Amino acid sequence: MCLLAQGCLWAEEPPLFEVTGNDDNFNVHYEWNYRGSRWEYDAQIPRSTYEYFSDKERTGSYEEYVLNPLDDEWMSHVADLFTGWSAEQGWGEWGTVSFVLSFVHSMPYTSDKVTTGYDEYPRYPVETIVDGGGDCEDTCILFASIIREMDYGVVLLKLQEDAHMAVGVLVAQDVVDNWQRHYPLTYYTTEEGEIYAYCETTGDGWELGQKPDDLISQTAQIIDVS
């Protein structure tokens, strides 16, 4: 397994995804923009790993896709990469979350019906990386898997009225009390009093706690994947 990422000053260009391979491996390449720089992510993923996950029977229990231990080592490498880069930039913990979001945003939205022939077909993180995108469930699973390996508390947020999924990242009460950014903080609170800031994984440019205006759901089913 080989992981490489680099950022440099770059004219604004659209995200780029390329995948090549042979009988043994998939070589994936992503490029995207964040905070005025062009970022690159490369990975060599064994074909056997991809086929293991793609051959697994699909389940409606979304926890399985985030918590399956067989890709933990690989997801840990991805998490370490983003953690190190964010530390070099001095972005802090919430800037780091938005940085990982920007990577996931670089992946195009593709519907399950078009790409798989099924109405619902959740993907494991490895599948989403190699396939170069997915629907809201797929990008949420990938984002939650990376953030979880960074030791953030994380949940999946199922917005029933919108037939949509997002991710919640655990924040402290003082974050809510002292939030002074240019947009309101959207968050959900569990019965135990834990607060999770909304994270949108589809589209582009959404940051921690920023929710699209066109979503109508006022509540969300909270699925713990910490």
Where are the chain's structural domains?
A: 3-224
Structure tokens at 82: 């983003």
pLDDT band of residue 74 (cuts 50, 70, 90) is: confident
**Quick one: pLDDT band at residue 111, thresholds 50, 70, 90?**
low
Helix or strand or coil: residue 169?
A: strand
Positive/negative CA dihedral, 75, 71, 149, 142: positive
pLDDT tens by residue, 207-226 = 999 999 999 999 999 999 98
Q: Is 163 exposed, middle or buried (0-12, 13-18, 19+ CB in 10 A)?
A: exposed
Q: What's the pLDDT tens digit per position in 166-217?
A: 999 999 999 999 998 889 999 999 999 999 999 999 988 999 999 999 999 9
Instruction: Answer whether residue 157 shows pLDDT above 60.
Output: yes
CA 61, CA 9: separation in Å to the nearest integer?
42
Domain 3-224 is found in CATH 3.10.620? yes
The Cα 102–Cα 143 span in angstroms is 10
Q: How far apart are CA 68 and CA 87, in angstroms?
A: 28
5 pLDDT exceeds 80? no
> Residue 219: its pLDDT value, please?
94
Q: Is residue 103 within 8 Å of residue 38, measured between CB atoms?
A: no
Whole-prediction pTM value?
Answer: 0.91
Q: Which amino acid is at 106?
A: S
Q: Is the pLDDT confidence value at 2 over 50?
A: no
Q: Average pLDDT for residues 1-26, to the nearest whole number?
A: 71
CB 203 within 8 A of CB 209: no
Per the CB < 8 A criterion, the answer to whether 86 and 98 are in contact is no
